[in-house]
Amino acid sequence: MVHALRQAHRVLKSGGLLIDLRPAPANRRVGIISGGRYRRLGTTRESLDLDRAAERAVRRAQRAGLFRLETGIRFDCRRVMDTPADFRAWILELVARRAAPPHDRLIRRVERAFGRARTGRLLIMEGPVMVRALRRLDSRLTS
């Protein structure tokens, strides 16, 4: 991540912007919409170590004089899926990518809730995302 930030600094024009867009370090909420009503089914249990390490790397790049934070916005980002099979595929990918424990109980809960619901069924994953705009500074450290 530190190398990536130095590379980003190199390819940016003087005064250019680095946009850092990543999930905030928090687990994601899982729920179902049926008949126009939302019901929460649980949360994911992910390792947040990578998110925290990335945030530390960005702060280190700021301290090194590469970038200056201009603004930051936090918002909730949704993923919408049509079937429990979609949810299962997504969560298995998440488990592999983010060193998360198996989510078998959550998968079963989602499958049961989906089976009981009758109309307009949608599965929703929602979690906070941060977007930060950092201004490139001309740094003697990297010249």
Partner 1 sequence: MSLRIDPEQREVGALVRVAEWRGRHVLEIGCGDGRLSLRLARLGAVVCGIDPDRAQIRNARRRLRRFSRRVRFRVGQAERLAHGAGSFDVVVLSWAL
Per CB under 8 A, residues contacting partner 1 are 1, 3-5, 7-8, 10-14, 16-23, 50-51, 53-54, 70-73, 75-83, 85-86, 89-90, 129, 131-133
Q: Which is nearer to partner 1, 77 or 102 (CB)?
A: 77
Q: How far is the CB of 93 from partner 1 (least distance, A)?
A: 9
Bridge partner residues of 31 (DSSP): 40, 124
For residue 62, count CB atoms less than 10 angstroms from its CB and return exposed for 0-12, middle for 13-18, buried for 19 or more.
middle
Q: Which is nearer to partner 1, 21 or 141 (CB)?
A: 21
Q: Which of 102, 95, 118, 122 is nearest to 110 (CA)?
A: 122
Bridge partner residues of 32 (DSSP): 39, 123
Q: Which is nearer to partner 1, 80 or 141 (CB)?
A: 80
